Amino acid sequence: MLIFYPTLSNGNVLWTCDNCDRTAEVSWPDTNAVALVCICDGKVHPKCNNDWYYKGLYWNRIPMENRERYSRGRMKQHGRNTKE
């Protein structure tokens, strides 16, 4: 499962802790699937979104032959220096 949070009019994402219902505005241009550490227990919430990024599920959705091209494209999109 993956939880997508709503995008606010200012472009930020409104994250809500699934443990204590605290909220936070997150400025991240590429996704509204957010996982943050909450002060309620010092753990990342929601866990499913954390797994998406840190257990490789994000990259596993991209076929192996396309990952390098995809990664370079993302780096260029954000003005980061890439090796061709």
pLDDT digits (tens, 9 = 90+) for 50-66: 887 777 676 666 677 77
Look at the block and give the residue holding tokens 């995008």.
7
Rounded Cα–Cα distance for residues 32 and 21 (Å): 17
Higher per-residue confidence, 60 vs 76: 76
Higher per-residue confidence, 42 vs 30: 42
Q: What is the pLDDT of residue 14?
A: 92
- Please determine, for residue 40, whether its predicted confidence score (pLDDT) is greater than 90: yes
Q: What is the pLDDT of residue 81?
A: 60
Rounded Cα–Cα distance for residues 12 and 56 (Å): 25
pLDDT digit string, tens, across residues 5-19? 888 999 899 999 999
Residues 25, 12 contacting (CB under 8 angstroms): yes
